[in-house]
Chains A and B, each alone.
Chain A
Amino acid sequence: MISIQHLTYRYDKKAPLILDHINLEINKGECVALIGQNGSGKTTLLKQLNGLLKPTSGRVTINGLDTATTKTSALARHIGYLFQNPDHQIFCNTVYDEIRFGLLNIQCPPEEIHDRIKRIAGLLGLENKLTRDPFTLSRGERQRVALASVLVLETDILVLDEPTTGQDYRECVEIMEIVKELNRKGKTIIMVSHDIEVVADYCERTIILHQGRVLEDDATHVVLRKSESLMLSGLEPPQIIQLALRFGPLFQHVRSPEDMAEAVAACAVPGGVRV
């Protein structure tokens, strides 16, 4: 589905390498998290996937199409791309037009357009903002407009650069549930996030990028145990894990507050007898 071979990239001839010999295969139906420090090259890598940036050397192919020779506008039928900053993406005067823009380009039948816009706006809580000028919305709302305009295209692959920034916890969960539902329906998802809980809860596979190289690439629960790599990628283990670690082997199996509470209760009252 997505295949990256020996990809290197630099923005400028004399500039340093931003991507350094990346090799990746991503299969249909996967949900992959890409994590790493600020400036590690995550956005640069994502932009290679739909040809917004072209490889300095190496090859990137999407459904067999080489991004170096395929136009981004043609790749758009396969890949939906959410920009890190919604303001890089939004350019129409109303939310409705913004969501509609892509639909017009993929020759969506006119009778379907309105329904599709309504449906996606409903999902993302934008139904009563459709006539607003996106630039008068709050940042979090703009983020959802940008997301709606990508999701509405129903492409096979979704590339999402920090889809949940500016959202509160509930909105974040709602967005991720939508994304996950799409994934269940067979869409391939690649997303960047700095939120380790989101990564742990929603992505099966995690790639850590560090200084333009792939540092780790494995099942999420495996990667999240590698504390050294996590430190390098600017992450910290979840609070409960940090807490559990302070007690040596005592709470070694703890994952969530519920686990921890149970474990503490069990230690506090051995044999299940309370005085």
Chain B
Amino acid sequence: MLNVEAIENGTVIDHIRAGKGKKVLEMLGINENNAGRVALVMNVPSKRLNKKDIVKIEGAFVNEEQTNLVALISPKSTINIIKNGKVIEKREVEIPNALKNVGNCPNPNCITNTEHAEKIFEKEESKFRCHYCERCFAAEELVG
């Protein structure tokens, strides 16, 4: 396996659905401006998922709210918060009850696509209902 150095302080997101690692970084707003090193390893063999992506972000501690956004793209991911080389917290991701300004409403006739408005979606069963046009969408439709 391709080895990526362990990080001393930061966040490791494991068990990301293969191919979605890049999207996870994008959703968390992690890019070349991150102070520390960022590693994205794709297509890692996995017992649970067959293939998975792993992301390591040095110097950034992903909070609960951000963690739950990861669930939208990859529901089985796990988050490890690392301080001084030790895992101090392990979190399972959970699909959030509401989404705010995460994705645009896919309904072209929704007012939020022509008028400046916060994008708010509320979870209903396994879907998300737009606060404005009241249509329901799957998570993938909102975050692509």
Does chain A bind chain B?
Answer: no
